Structures are given as C-alpha cells and as structure tokens.
Structure 1
Amino acid sequence: MSLQNASVKKSEIFLYSFGGFGSNLLFIYTVSFLMFFYTDVFKISPAAVGTVFLVVRLIDAFLDPLLGMLTDRTRSRWGTFRPWLIFGSPLLAMTTMLLFTAPDLSPSGKLAYAIATYVGYSFVSSIVNIPYHALSAVISKDPTQRNWLVTTKNLMGNLGALAVSGSVLPLVAYFGSGQKGWFFATLLFSLSTIISYLLCARGAKAHDTNEVNTENASHSHNAHPSIKEQIKLISTNGPLLALLAATVVKTGALIINSAVAIYYWQYNMGRPDLYSQLFIWGTALAIPIYFVIPRLVRKYGKKNVLNISCLITMLPSAVLLMTPPENVMLIFILSVLVKVLVPFTAVLPWMMLPDCVDFGKWKTGINGSATVHSTMIFTNKVGAAIGGLLSGALLGAAGYVAGKEQTPEALSMISNLYFLVPIIGFGVSLLLIWKFYPITNAIHSKILKEIDDKENNREAV
C-alpha cells in the first residue's frame, strides 16, 4: 500500500479534530463578539465597524489565494502543512489578544488601530487555517475516511463554539467586565487554541512528511506548478466555483445573524441571559447530528443532503420572523432548533471541498489541496465582510445607539437581520448548489477511478 493511501488511525482522526476545536474557538469568538466589543467597549460607531470589516476583507482578497499557493509549495522537515500550524498558532494567539484590546485613542486612532489589528489577525488566521483545512484532503483519499475526518473536526468545532458561546459573557463578568474582563477571556481562549493546533499537528504527523509529500508530488504531472497553473486549478473548477458562490451567500447571512444575536436578546427581548443559554442548548443538542451526517451522505449524497438541510433550516426561521417578542419560550425553542440544524449546512461544504480537490486534479493533474481550500477560507472571509458591513451599516441607518433604549425602527431592523436574512441566504445557497454543483457520489467515484488509472499508467511507463 502506498504511503498516501495508508489507513488513518482513530487516534489520528481524534487528534486532527482538535484543530477544529481551536479554529472555532477564535472564529466564533470574533464573529459573535467583535462587533459588540467594538461598539460597546471600544466605542466605535456601527458604520465605522462595517468599514473596518470591509477594508480587512478586501486585503484578504489578495492574500488568501496566494497563501494557499505558497502552502502547497512548502517543503520542510515538518511536512507541507504542519509547520504552519506549529509556528503560526502562537502568532494567532498574540494577534487575537491585540484585536480585543481597547487603548485610549482618538476616534480616528481607534479606527486605525482596529483596522491594523484586524488585518494582522486575519492574515495570521489564514496562514494557520488554510493548511489545517487542507490536511483533510491529503490525510486520506478514501471518501468514507474523509467524511469522518471532516465530520469529526466539525464536531470538535461545535464543541469549541459551545465553549465560547456559553462562557464568554460569564468569563468577562468574572474577570471584572470592561477591557479587563475581555483581556483575560481572550487570553484563556488564545492559549487553548495553541494547544489545540499542536495536538492537530501531532495527529497528522504520519501523513504530512517529506516522504509522503515526495510520493504525492510524483503522482502529479507538475510537482511544482506555477501560480498561473494554480489559478487555472481554481478558475476551471466549476463545482468549486458553485460551492464558493453558495458559501459566500450563506456565510454572509449567518454572520449577520451571529453579529446581531446578542443585540436581539439584549434589546428586543430584554433577556441577555437567554443568549448564552441558546448557544449552550443549541450546540449541545446538535452533537448527535454529527454522527448522522456521514451515514446520510453515504446513502443520499452530499449535494442532496445539503439542499434538503437548507430547506429544513429555513422553516423555523420563517416562523420566528412572524412570532411576536412576547412569546419568549417559543422564540427560544425555535432558535435552539435552528442551532441544532446548523451542523448540516456547516459540515457539508467542507465535506464537499475535498471532492473539488479531486475534480481539480482530475481536470488539471495538479495536487492543489491548500490552493483549493484557501478559496473556501477566502470565501468565508468575504461572506463575513459582507455580513459585517451590512450589519453595521443597517444598524446605524436604523438609529442604533450603544447602551441606550432602542427606537422601534432599530428593534425592527435587529429582528429582520436576525431572522429574515438567514432565510434569504439559505434559499439562494440551495438554488446555487441544486443548479450548478454536479458532483454526486457516482460522479466522484468515477473521478477517483480515472485519477488512479492515470497514475497507474504513468507509473507503468
């Protein structure tokens, strides 16, 4: 058996999954609380916050694809992807600490500081997370093993989200609230992230070495593809482009939903205590879903399961949109249900991405896992930028003022951003995948067979 086809041990899958825990700790932390930190702690206006998000993502538009290409070309004694995790995670922790620091500056100084620290955080996040996600396509070529790899890492990511959502506000209060509370809470999550990535690198050690990388390169018609060829790997990959388009819409909608969640429960409902409870119950009850997904995918296919999941997730959101705020328990229960359904739409795009890697190799002959995965990281950031920009701009336009009693217009805007936008996002994503994503289980099996046939013929010659 060749090195690249070696079976993955359960212990390796478990250790690799810790990357999902660490990644989601800081991702959910920033997505859920950075806008609130900026407006209510650092005292930046909502419109300015939207500008910060937009500027950072425009910079990412140039950096992320280049980082993915650089990662694919990395050769070191620690492997291709693992050194980025080992040496990048401490930098990620430090930049996150700076991100949640609120120095006493002028309004223009605060804006400049927010942009500079967010650019630094976003850049370092990319140099860690692009290689991390790319590992799933090189650890195993077996579709079933890949599905479990992606599912397990997302399950651990779900636990990371649970840790953040259920503990951030209590931790901030415990450490003294204000800037002091946010500093120590951020420190705790940042240190946990370093440990998580080191465990992940340990789990992938046997599958990301010089020996394995040399063999993988020998199975590519070009072991060191040019940047032009790597760009072609993306531009000619129809399934990848469809998946990215659907993801950017869905991510933008979910970022808006996450960004205004704390506002909704604090101002619309007057029950900020239920905010943490919502995430605790929704995330905990979603855990069994992760064990169901690989089985459903194996029987019905990733594309079908994703489309049905989008449709089902829209239903409780539609009911929530029409439910008066006086029905606290109904709103809480339906909001928990939406959280329980999240794994389907969160896991499946990442599960489909290695298939897009295979499609690209089938079409171009290039092994470009990090290049392809960098596009998903970038797409998530674009969605986050759009979501952040719209959240800040629309809240500001509706008259939101931090820490004050909100106007009916502001409350209505918060409600629409929280419930209506996700419905639109899931609906558009469903249409894009249904219409433009062609890879089914049968087609993927055919692609893998043809790749193996080409490699065997090349070796025979």
Structure 2
Amino acid sequence: MKREKLKWSTIISYALAYGSGYQIMGSLVGAYLMIFLTDTFGVPAAAVGVITVVASIWDAVNDPMMGAIADRTNTRWGKYRPYFLFVPAALTVVVVLLFANPNIGTTGKIIWTAVFYVLYGMLRTAIEIPSGALINAVTDEPSERNKMINAYTMVMGICTTIATSFGLSLVSFFGGKNTSKGYMIVVGIAGVLMTITCWLCFATTKETCIKETEKKPLLEEIKTLFRVKGLLYTILVWLAAYISYCVMMSSSVYYIMYCLCRPDLISVYMLDISVIGLLGIIIVIPVFLKIFKKTEKAFAASQVIVAISSIIIIIFKENIAVIFVCSGIASMFATASMPFSAMIMTEMTDMILLDSGRIMNGTMAALKGFSNKAGIAAANAAVSFTLAATGYIANAVGKEPQAVINGITAVRFVVPAVCAIVIILALFKYPVTEEKRRKIGKLYEKGQEK
C-alpha cells in the first residue's frame, strides 16, 4: 500500500506553530528576562540564580510526567495535537505577568518571579513536549522529518533574529520610558501570534503514524528508556548544546554593556549573532550533512568551529572587529546545534522502538525538553551567580569591578568552548549506527505492509 506523502501545509503550519510566536516569546525571555529582573524589577542576581535552579529541579520531575501524560493522551483529535488548542493562551498570560513590575518590595518581587517563572516552565513543557513528539507521529519517513525540523528551525532562526536584534527597540517603541510596559506588550503580541499559529497547526496536521502499545507504569517506562545504550550521552549532548546557546544569548547584553562599555552596540551585536546564526540553519545543516553524511559527525564537526571561535575571542578580547566576526561564526554553528539535536531525538526515538518495541515519542521529547530547560537554567545560573559572586552593580556602565568584567567574559566565551568539547566527546558514544538505521527502515517498511 503506497504511503501518502507529507503535505507542505503540514510542514509549514508546524514550522509556524513551533518556530514563530513561541520562539519569539522564548527568545525574549532567554535574552532579556535576566537583565529585566536585575536592572528593572530589582530582584537580586543571586535570587535569580536560585529561582532558575529550583525551577530546573522541578522540571526534572515535571517533564517526564508530561511526556508520559502526552503518550497516554487519547482523544478524537489525537495524542499531541490537543495541547496546541488550550496551552498557548495560558502561557501568554503567564509570560506577560512575568514581565510586570508591581511595587511589592524585594521579598514580594522574588516570590512573584519564582511563581511565574515556574509556571512559565510548566506551560512551556506542555507545548514543547507535544511539539517534539508530533514529528514522529505525523510521518515515519526520515527525510520528511528532516524537512519538518529544517522548516521550523528556519522560522525559529528568523523569529529569534527579530526578537533578539530588535527586541529592545520594540520595547522602547511600545513602552517609552516604562520598560515593563514595553516588554508586556511585545511578549503579548508574540503570545497572540503563538496562539493563532498553534491553532493553525492543530487544524492542518494528522497523527497518522501512531500505534498503540501496552501501557506500563511511568517508572517502568523510564527504566526501559534508560536501558537504551547511549541515552545518557545523548542527554549530555542536548544539555551542553542548550547551555552553550543560552549562555550566548543571556550573557551577550551584559558583555556588550559592561565589558565593552558600549550599550549603543547591543542591538548591532544581537543582530550580528542572530542573523549569522540563521545561516547555521540555512547553510551549515545541509552542507555538513552532505559532507559528513551522518548527523552525529556533522554535529561534532560544527562544534569544533564553535570551540575555536570562542578561544580566538578570549585571546583577542580587546579587538571589537575580532569579537564581532568570531561571535557571528560561533553563533552560526551553535545555532546549528538546535536542528542537529532535534534530528538526534527522532533517531533515538526510532531506536527505542527498535530495541524495546515501545513507542515513547512523548517521553523522549520530554527528555529533550528537560535538557533544554535545564540548559536554560544552568546558563542563567552561571550568569547570575557569576554576577553575584564578583560584585556586580546594576546599571553601573564603566564602573564595574574588574572581577565582574572577567567573570562575564569567562561565562560568555569559555562556557561555550567547554560545552562544544563536551558535545564532541559525547557524540563518540552516539548509539545509532548505520546498521541500526537500516533495521529501523526495515521496521517501518513492515509496518507499512501491515
């Protein structure tokens, strides 16, 4: 029986749902929430670090639960699509309130931030995990999955560029001197766009590659998962990739403002790393896959360049031209780690089906989602604890202690270099071999025959 080809309407609607408003909102939070909390809202940097760590610990519990819930969801709309209907509006409200600036004292502000940041993480989970799981649910063809991944990462790259490069300008346009108002309006617009595109994705996708397997208790499912060879190394790859990318985004504003003492260059620098980062999706992914053939080899090669570029900046840290050029190159290959990570997830999900006979799309998406949020938390904690430990003074451009400047520089460039090396070493243990790929292909061929 001939298999129906995946429609472009499905690919485009999925790319818009997962790559446009959702990513604009996430990019604004990733790039600007920390500096909003420390410099506008008045939350101590150490408190911000504690909040992100606590939220990450909760995600360690919450993400696998959401993955199991998604895999066990059975509705007339499917397993994963229903979450596109109901979650986006709630996430929008929470993020708008996260950027609010109520006058409630330092303790009240810490509690406010903690509550809404944890809710943000939970609702992001409820979108991210079904979105990741949906790829394997709509098609079993690797080339079509890669089209979905490339499409959404392309849209994600464009929208991330808009958010990080023009975010502060939009905040100023809508809020004037009221920074909080500007942020609330901008993330609110992003939330409306996210809600509309998620509804469009719901309307144009079909879960055609779902088959029911015996349901087991969650702990047993997790034990089954962690018996899979190489899974821990894969999680390490995801974690290091997200730490590298998120450190790059969350520390850049601090670096330009307080290390270079050039707040006038913030938008230009963010445009540099965002636009050139987009080339990582357009150029690096197809070119490296063609040269190196296998996902893990292409991924590892890209990280070599991230490490080299970061080291060059550390050596020539006084040269602004070198900083801009090498930051752009590092961003190009760090951004490419996002689609590479997604490709690895789909392959690992297939390998679990091959080895255990179990469909665990949601659970695998949960592990990747947890790695994502743990990476964000680790990146934010690295920045905030460094600021707190070195004596950071909010809004003191040109007056920061040398320890603060050294700390921000180390976080911005040493951490990505170390993460790149970790990714390269972990990928040597990647368990999906060419033989496994052939067996997975035969497994799906048998399924189509049935």
Q: How does 1:300-449 map to 2 (within 5 A)?
A: 300-325=293-318, 327-404=319-396, 405-434=399-428, 436-449=429-442
Separation in 2 of the partners of 1:87 and 1:113? 24
Q: Secondary structure at the match of 1:82?
A: coil
Shift of the alpha carbon at 1:68? 0.6
Q: Distance in 2 between matches of 1:59 and 1:286?
A: 31
Give RMSD over aligned pairs. Answer: 2.0
Instruction: State the partner residue of 2:234.
Output: 243
TM-score in terms of structure 1 length: 0.91
Alignment of 1:165-184 (within 5 A): 165-174=164-173, 175-177=175-177, 178-184=179-185
Residue 300 to residue 456, structure 1, CA distance change in 2 (3 Å): closer
Please say which of residues 289-298 and 313-322 is displaced more in the overlay: 289-298
Q: 1:401 to 1:425 in 2, by over 3 A?
A: same
- Gaps (5+ residues) in structure 2? none
Shift of 1:276: 1.9
Please tell me whether residue 253 in structure 1 is matched to residue 244 in structure 2. yes
TM-superposition CA deviations, 1:41-87 (whole Å, max 9, x none): 11011111101101111111111101011011111122211110111
Query: Contact conserved, 1:57 with 1:382, CA < 8 A, in 2?
Result: yes
Give the distance between the partners of 1:106 and 1:409, measured in 2 at CA.
29
Partners of 1:148 and 1:294 within 8 A in 2? no
The one-character-per-residue Cα deviations of 1:203-249 (angstroms, maximum 9, x if unpaired) are 32xx22xxx47xx325x4x2x34324421342122333221112212
Contact 1:247 1:380 in 2 (8 A): yes
Tell me if 1:15 matches 2:13: yes
Which residue type is aligned with residue 14 of structure 1?
I
Structure 1 counterpart of 2:157: 158
Q: 1:9 to 1:295 in 2, by over 3 A?
A: farther
Specify the alignment match of 1:188 in structure 2: 189
Structure 1 unmatched ranges of 5 or more = none
Measure the CA separation in 2 of the matches of 1:146 and 1:391: 35
Structure 1 residue 315: deviation in Å? 1.1
Within a 5 Å distance, the mapping from 1:16-55 to structure 2 comes to 16-18=14-16, 19-55=18-54
Q: CA contact under 8 A between 1:22 and 1:197: conserved in structure 2?
A: no
Structure 1 residues 135 and 391 mapped into 2: Cα distance closer, same or farther (>3 Å)?
same
Q: Is the 8 A contact 2:28 2:163 kept in 1?
A: yes
Alignment length, in residue pairs?
A: 443
Q: Tell me, what secondary structure is at the counterpart of 1:41?
A: helix
| Alpha-carbon offset, residue 442 of structure 1 | 4.4
| Residue 306 (structure 1) shift | 0.5
Cα distance in structure 1, aligned partners of 2:262 and 2:445? 57
Q: Does 1:278 align with 2:269?
A: yes
Whole-Å separation in 2 of the counterparts to 1:424 and 1:357:
28
Amino acid at match of 1:95: V
